[in-house]
């Protein structure tokens, strides 16, 4: 058992005794969701992504029995969420079709301080997504949604007790909107939680516009008219589509030393895969995600050249760690958000709620993944040459 697949003995026993779930059949999964919600889908824009994901899970993911059950439940849950979103939009289209005014979008690479910055920015009073909203974004009573989020948090903590050291999750806390992409079936989440390279390849070749359109509608339904602070590294891969969706967005690119961010990311992905599988290959993860980082950076730099430097704010991970309040206040001023005493207090309070290593220390090393520091330098040489002052 590696550190990526470590879990409590009772769960290992349950997993050993649990029969393997039925195959991932897209038609059966769609039917299960439709029966549960009592209605069919308005369109099948999600069908191709769902089909590729099911094929990739069956052929590549190597999930354990409990992992198969969880993944199947998650897919059905996302299909049901899509049905409920379609129904909510049909009943009140004006609510979901409102623009989001001047959002601030944090879009740096993973493991560059994006989560820390996002949660600090939320302390300033800007509208930010909460975990319980991300898991159930249909407007309605909050307590059932909060209860569901608390159960999910407890379940993940039980299945993967070391995961929170890498990425803390709080049912009541701030969360990124990457979760809202799951019902679109065009999302980074499957690749971060399972070994599904076939799906990752499809995701990179497919059209993200319908997914971004749906996420924009979800955010409008939750808080249209408010100024949002958004965050997910997924955006760096799709800057042009992001700006089609949010034309007046201010983009925040966080930067970190590549030799630090790469093993941290590989470790996070390995921990994510280890929740649902007992077969985690660190070297394969490094190969897949080195290529992914190269692609995302290349696309991000090219998009930045097209849209212009004035749309971006650059933030150093080191500066953020050394002076978080100062970095956030500078960013708010750049975004023309009034910095009052109440805002300063909110930022300081958000920082107090995020002590470092509160769930333990996330340890990682490039050698664990069969990669040398020099290889990472070669992967991101153009990036370092251009933004070396921030790393």
At residue 344, φ and ψ (nearest 5 deg) are -60, -40
Strand ranges inside the chain, DSSP E: 104-106, 229-231, 250-255, 312-316
Does 332 score more than 70 pLDDT? yes
Q: How far apart are CA 147 and CA 145, in angstroms?
A: 5
With a pLDDT cut of 90, the percent of the chain lying above it is 82
Distance of CA 128 to the CA centre of its chain: 14
Confidence band for 156, pLDDT divided at 50, 70 and 90: confident
Residue range 214-226: mean pLDDT, rounded:
92
The pLDDT score that the predictor gives to residue 143 is 94
Does 14 score more than 80 pLDDT? no
The pLDDT score that the predictor gives to residue 19 is 74
Q: How far apart are CA 161 and CA 372, in angstroms?
A: 29
Does 161 score more than 90 pLDDT? no
Q: How far apart are CA 38 and CA 80, in angstroms?
A: 10
CB 101 within 8 A of CB 52: no
pLDDT tens per residue across span 274-294: 999 999 999 999 999 999 999
**Is residue 166 exposed (0-12), middle (13-18) or buried (19+ Cβ within 10 Å)?**
buried
Mean pLDDT of the chain, nearest integer: 93
Does 187 score more than 90 pLDDT? yes
The pLDDT score that the predictor gives to residue 1 is 59
Closest CA to 107 of 324, 319, 299, 357: 299
Does 159 score more than 80 pLDDT? no
Least confident of 17-21, 48-52, 65-69, 338-342: 17-21
Confidence band for 387, pLDDT divided at 50, 70 and 90: very high
Residue range 260-274: mean pLDDT, rounded:
94
Q: How far apart are CA 263 and CA 376, in angstroms?
A: 10
DSSP assignment of 121-137 equals: HHTTT-B--BHHHHH--
Q: How far apart are CA 198 and CA 55, in angstroms?
A: 8
Total length of the chain: 391
Q: What sign has the CA pseudo-torsion 328, 330, 331, 337? A: positive
For helices 282-307 and 258-276, what crossing angle results, to 10°?
120
Residue range 317-336: mean pLDDT, rounded:
97
The pLDDT score that the predictor gives to residue 196 is 98
Least confident of 27-36, 226-235, 273-282, 354-363: 354-363
Does 186 score more than 80 pLDDT? yes
Does 9 score more than 70 pLDDT? no
Residues 6 or more apart whose CB falls under 8 angstroms from that of 256 comprise 108, 109, 111, 112, 113, 316, 317, 318, 391
The pLDDT score that the predictor gives to residue 67 is 92
Residue range 174-178: mean pLDDT, rounded:
95
Which residues are bridge partners to 255 per DSSP? 316
Q: How far apart are CA 97 and CA 122, in angstroms?
A: 24
Element (H, E) at 62: none
Q: How far apart are CA 83 and CA 120, in angstroms?
A: 33
pLDDT tens per residue across span 372-386: 999 999 999 999 999
Residues 6 or more apart whose CB falls under 8 angstroms from that of 339 comprise 124, 329, 332, 333
DSSP alpha helix (H) spans, 168-279 = 189-193, 197-205, 209-223, 239-245, 258-276
Q: Which domains does the chain have, with CATH numbers?
A: 102-390 (3.40.50.300)
The pLDDT score that the predictor gives to residue 357 is 63
Residue range 207-229: mean pLDDT, rounded:
94
Q: How far apart are CA 271 and CA 276, in angstroms?
A: 10
């Amino acid at each position: 058992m590696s550190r990526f697949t470590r879990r409590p003995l009772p769960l290992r026993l349950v997993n050993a005794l649990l029969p393997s779930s039925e195959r991932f059949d897209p038609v059966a999964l769609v039917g299960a969701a439709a029966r549960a919600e009592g209605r069919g889908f308005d369109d099948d824009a999600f069908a191709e992504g769902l089909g590729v994901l099911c094929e990739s899970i069956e052929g590549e993911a190597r999930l354990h029995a409990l992992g198969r059950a969880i993944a199947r439940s998650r897919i059905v849950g996302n299909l049901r969420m899509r049905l409920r979103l379609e129904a909510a939009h049909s009943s009140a289209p004006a609510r979901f079709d409102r623009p989001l005014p001047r959002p601030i979008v944090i879009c740096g690479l993973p493991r560059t301080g994006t989560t820390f910055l996002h949660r600090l920015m939320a302390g300033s009073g800007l509208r930010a997504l909460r975990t319980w909203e991300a898991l159930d974004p249909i407007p309605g009573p909050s307590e059932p949604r909060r209860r569901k989020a608390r159960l999910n948090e407890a379940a993940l903590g039980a299945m993967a007790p070391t995961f929170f050291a890498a990425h803390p999750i709080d049912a009541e806390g701030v969360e990124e909107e990457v979760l809202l992409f799951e019902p679109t079936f065009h999302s980074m989440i499957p690749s971060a939680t399972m070994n599904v390279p076939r799906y990752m390849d499809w995701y990179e070749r497919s059209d993200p516009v319908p997914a971004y359109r749906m996420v924009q509608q979800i955010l409008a339904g939750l808080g249209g008219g408010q100024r949002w602070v958004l965050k997910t590294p997924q955006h760096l891969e799709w800057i042009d589509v992001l700006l089609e969706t949010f034309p007046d967005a201010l983009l925040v690119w966080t930067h970190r030393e590549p030799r630090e961010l790469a093993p941290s990311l590989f470790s996070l992905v390995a921990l994510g895969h280890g929740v649902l599988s007992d077969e985690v290959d660190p070297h394969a993860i490094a190969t897949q995600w080195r290529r992914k980082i190269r692609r995302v950076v290349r696309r991000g730099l090219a998009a930045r050249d097209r849209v212009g430097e004035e749309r971006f704010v650059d933030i150093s991970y080191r500066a953020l760690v050394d002076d978080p309040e100062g970095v956030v206040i500078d960013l708010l001023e750049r975004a023309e958000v009034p910095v009052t005493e109440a805002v300063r207090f909110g930022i300081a309070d958000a920082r107090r709620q995020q002590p470092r290593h509160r769930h333990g220390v996330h340890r990682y090393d490039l050698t664990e993944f069969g990669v040398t520091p020099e290889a990472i330098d070669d992967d991101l040489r153009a990036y370092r040459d251009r933004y070396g002052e921030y790393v």
